[in-house]
Chains A and B, each alone.
Chain A
């Protein structure tokens, strides 16, 4: 049997849940699929408080946001969700297949599809980077904050972006030692507020440093780090060996864009967005009619903008289905303005630069 919801959403993180909320409230029949054990995506491990304004739940801990997003829709008769359901295909007749509970195949032929699959942690090349004990920093955050299990006693953090900084602080809070944070760039990539917190705890943040190798036979027992020159080459003779039993890689994420490729959406590689992403309109529709993108799947950014993109996509899909949405244009403008505000200033510069490269409106203008 093929189910035919008006809107199918792939991914129950901040973008997918925000999309679901708008589409359900607009009266669409919505099915949301997620491959994890719980809804909320990576919000479930974010024990820190959010920034931004009220619209992004500033001051609320990430872990609380999924229930806020779900509150209005969880019991709605036009909303259905499936966890532990991994999408496995998209076919030319518009059918989406998924495997539920590792057992049964389920099929959907939605009128509109919103892809909010998020992103995957990257790795970097160095000898022994596959040893057990070399973990994604976000994965360690899940292990600690969701399941209460610590990864070891003493760790090395690679990358001083927000994930590297926040996870370093949380490792300390959980009673572990952080030997150092190494960062290849000449400055900290994340917010100063996070960097200051860990600097005050005495964790050295070594900019212009990289990891050369992980040490160990079966599991990590140490790491070799070194300063690098302006061409990112390690300075010979300056290596230091660090004793640690785990290494966290916080070297960025790449968008999970497989479904767009299956659906033959036109793609473009945008370094500022960390990978290959679909072209999209300001209403988040890709070049394949009826397929929308929201959140990190369309370019790695953060949860606040993902929620707003999700809302825009959910809204736009409902409108395209002919649902009556009072004040559509003005509400969309408010969301659009909020996105621009989040991406304003020097911090948002690379995101703005990246988004021009995949904006369909921008592409049309250029031609």
Chain B
């Protein structure tokens, strides 16, 4: 099935963690850190380390290592703390 990452349509498997789908496409940079704007990626895979927080369907701070992928999901790299808009 298809999902959208930063405006680009990508293929993935339904139900796999979003982080796994992105890695399958070689996408390693998942967010930018709050203070120094440094790139951050996957680290613990169990939803505890906060290194993989992304914006999913407009919702910030989603732990993409434990969030299952769904058809049509819109996934974006998060910058800073994220906004609830």
Binding site for B on A (CB under 8 A): 35-37, 42, 84, 86, 102, 118, 120-121, 123, 130-136, 138-139, 142-143, 147, 149, 151, 218-219, 256
Contacts and interface: CB of A to CB of B under 8 A. Distances in A.
A317 to B, nearest CB: 25
A86 B29 CA distance: 25
Given A37-B68, A130-B38, A218-B29, A136 B20 contact: no
A102 B46 CA distance: 15
A36 B23 contact: no
Contact of A120 (B38, B39, B46): B46
A155 to B, nearest CB: 13
A149 B20 contact: yes
Contacts of B30: 132
Given A120-B49, A132-B30, A142-B45, A219 B39 contact: yes
Contacts of A138: 44-45
B29 A120 contact: no
B28 A139 contact: no
A149 B45 contact: no
Contacts of B68: 37
A219 B47 contact: no
Given A131-B39, A149-B23, A218-B29, A139 B16 contact: no
Interface string B31-75: 001000011111111111101000000000010011110000000
For B15, B30, B43, B65, the residue with the greatest tally of chain A CB atoms inside 10 Å of its CB is B43
Nearest to B31: A132
B24 interface: yes
B28 A132 contact: yes
Identify whether the interface residues of A are mostly helix, strand, loop, or mixed: loop
B47 A35 contact: yes
For B16, B28, B29, B45, the residue with the greatest tally of chain A CB atoms inside 10 Å of its CB is B45
Interface residues of B, number: 29
Nearest to A120: B48
A15 to B, nearest CB: 15
Contacts of A118: 46
A139 B39 contact: no
Contacts of B65: 139
A363 B17 CA distance: 44
A35 B17 CA distance: 13
Nearest 5 CB-CB pairings of A with B: A132-B41, A139-B45, A147-B20, A132-B28, A142-B45
Given A36-B66, A120-B48, A143 B41 contact: no
A149 B24 contact: yes
B39 A143 contact: no
Nearest to B39: A218
Given A139-B65, A147-B17, A132 B29 contact: yes
A36 B28 contact: no
7 contacts: A37-B68, A42-B46, A102-B67, A130-B38, A147-B16, A147-B17, A149-B24
Contacts of A219: 28-29, 39, 41
Given A36-B47, A131-B41, 20 more contacts: A84-B66, A102-B67, A123-B43, A130-B51, A131-B38, A131-B39, A133-B28, A135-B42, A138-B44, A138-B45, A139-B46, A139-B65, A142-B46, A143-B19, A143-B23, A143-B42, A147-B20, A149-B24, A151-B23, A219-B41
A135 B42 CA distance: 7
B4 to A, nearest CB: 19
Contact of B20 (A84, A135, A143, A218): A143
Given A133-B41, A135-B42, A143-B23, A256 B28 contact: no
